[in-house]
Structure 1
Amino acid sequence: MQMQESTETDNTKMFNKLFYELEDCDEEEQKVKIEEMNEIIDGMNKDEFKYIYTVVLFDKMDKMIEEKKLNFGNAILLLKYIGCWKILKFIWAFGIDKTSLNKRFKKLITDEKKKNEVKNEKFLTDLCGCCLLHRGWLSSKFLSICVPCLLKVKLNKDESKESQKDVEIALLALSNIPGYHIIEKELCLNEIKEIVQYHQEHHNLTRLAYQSAWQFLMYEFEYEEDLEGVIVNELHFIKEASTEMEELSNSVDLKRKEEGKGERKVKEMKEELILKRWLKILEVFFSCCKLWSEEYVELIGSIVQMFRASRDNYPYTNRLCLYSLGKVSENRNVKIDHLMNIGAIDLFLEEILQPTLNDIVAYESFSFFINVSKKLKENTDDEKEKGKRKEVEMKLFEKMEEEGYEEIITNFYETIDFLNEKHHDYISLDIFDFFADV
């Protein structure tokens, strides 16, 4: 049973105990306690994290800084770690916008930027990174300061562990900028291209840093379609995404039994979270891409395999695979035979024929077949394409005949009504025409 957000646990009690002890410690003692707090965060679930991630925490931290009871460098150390895990654990919570701490950071960034003499770049980078990790104060003016500042971190080619961590946090912070914030390409495109290309040649980034660089670029692609040539042809996204996801899925072992999860190492858990982040940017990519090559088929096939592997033990990863495949079926450049050959059609048929069906899976499955129906009905003079469509229809018929599709269709009506109400959306009744025609 899931814990309620208002419930304390041993983890949250220990975190809060250490936090309130900080004001009675010197700088070095604070650093030791913050390292302990970070270890506790590593073991928290989402509900525990939400319990400690509050306005109270940020305002108390600001008061401790004001009263010089908390070293500012240590405060940044804690804020960066909390912000990183907030992003990696996909926790949707308020930012620091309404807190006194955010006002302090805003003033410090503005004051630092106004200085005529040489600025403390590390200090400014840390401030900007903290704000973006927590998504506080994302005005256009603010982004015009912080994006170039964080991208400068890549100029340091030092491959020490500390430098790699600085780069990782900077890129993770940039990846947390929502796609609807349009950033001028002059501010970032050349730099982010250089980061990706340098890593492809020298392998200088961590897995998370590399994925974050792609995510930052991909969220801009969502609103800048002319970036597709850069992403596909210059930076070889399909090949890179396929390689990264294959290596990550092998590391995570998606078929592992549930009972082993409690003892997983932090490193392995982090790799699972990075894998989820790749799936989220693939969803964006397939929503927007217009170019097409056979490489795409191989990548989509790997998502199908990942869906099957994650079905039993990794429900959220499984759902992200489902969303990506849904976007694939919407893409006009994806043909019926592509969906058949990679096993996507078989996969969704298997899902809707399950005796118990999760409503999200049901909704996405029906939406998938509506898209298949549209592809089957598209006008074409290409006899080869017509032959492929006929082949797909026959395979669908054979599959559904085996499973007793007439009874399934009869049960669809009640299911569709429920899903439309649940998702505040509308699944067209054309879905019945599709299955009936088959």
Structure 2
Amino acid sequence: MKQHILVIGAGFGGLWSALSAARLLDIHDRHDVDISLLAPQAELRIRPRFYEPDVHAMFAPLDALLDSVSVRFIKGTAERIDEQARIVGYRDEAGQPHELGYDRLVLATGSQLARPPVPGLEDHAFDVDQIESAVRLENHLKSLKDLPASDARNTVVIAGGGFTGIETATEMPARLRAALGDDQHIRVIIVDRGPKIAAALGDGIRPPIVEASEHLGIEWELNTSVSAVDADGVTLSDGRRIESRTLIWTVGFRASPLTEQLTSVRDGQGRLHVDQNLKIFGQDNIFAAGDVAYAATDDLGNFAAMSCQHAISLGRHAGNNVAADLLGVPPTAYRQPKYVTCLDLGAWGAVFTEGWDRQIKLLKHEAKELKSQINSIWIYPPAADRSTALAAADPMIPVA
């Protein structure tokens, strides 16, 4: 009877886990192990691009690629993990329950936007967390032209001044002008509880963010947060109100709730602590990749961020090591000492940094060209050719 590797999730971590496991099985000429990928869609959704327009096209089909490397795709949503029985319960697209057994499991179900109990948030806020919600925002922006001109119509508020908030905000002037026309007075406001612009990103990268904000007319409301939202405006925690028909929530991400079903240690964002081979502490047969893994990138105290930069490498290592564990061959310890940041800053350009202290290496047009390559080429899956796809899944390929 064949053994079974099950990967849950078709994001960056899950896809590259499946490809890397297939690679190691191919190297050892093993045909007695099946690999399955369980996910709601056979597509890699290019989440880092959801702040851009035309978001409905921000995905890459995976059927042909998975077929080329003999990975079986199972369409469904995982709901339950029984670590003792080695069973995953899921529902298919019709809502019918099913079960899958496994010998080894890779959990790569990603993260989701945190939604605190802010009054009006569920009914009136937008986000760019998933394709569906980003498309809803895009349709809303296009529909603004049908409303009478007003401060509320022409003002977009972004809650949160982290990576997602900044990239969403700096893209917004162009998107608003495309929807409303160049003659309209528009406002884009970032609301952030930090004491400085981009406080969470550090002093190294702050100057170009400040310059880009000034160039694009982005306003920052600091030392405050959104306390309530309604159809016509946003109330801040200091009592002030901003008239706006558009609030975009970008504050806080948490690992998939499936992590809570495992008897393992999690960090403050719900990520599972893993060893250097990405096996979850306290588990004999389960590995983690992508946003659900709290993994050390080096020996200096740095840990993988919730980003595709880390998810791709985590996936390559998790897939290699879950197959190695099953085959009884040496694993490859996860290490990713080089950390880079490439932050899109709209029409101003971009900024590219290296190191956890974010030392600036490229600015404006040069950084924008690099960002374009990353977003349109580098983070997309390989061609649906067996040798090409397996070669691309080598865990020793640097990702930076």
TM-score, length of structure 2 as denominator length = 0.26
- Identify the structure with the greater helix proportion: 1
TM-score, length of structure 1 as denominator length = 0.24
The structure, 1 or 2, with the larger RCO (C-alpha pairs under 8 Å, 6+ apart) is: 2
Greater gyration radius? 1
- Identify the structure with the greater strand proportion: 2
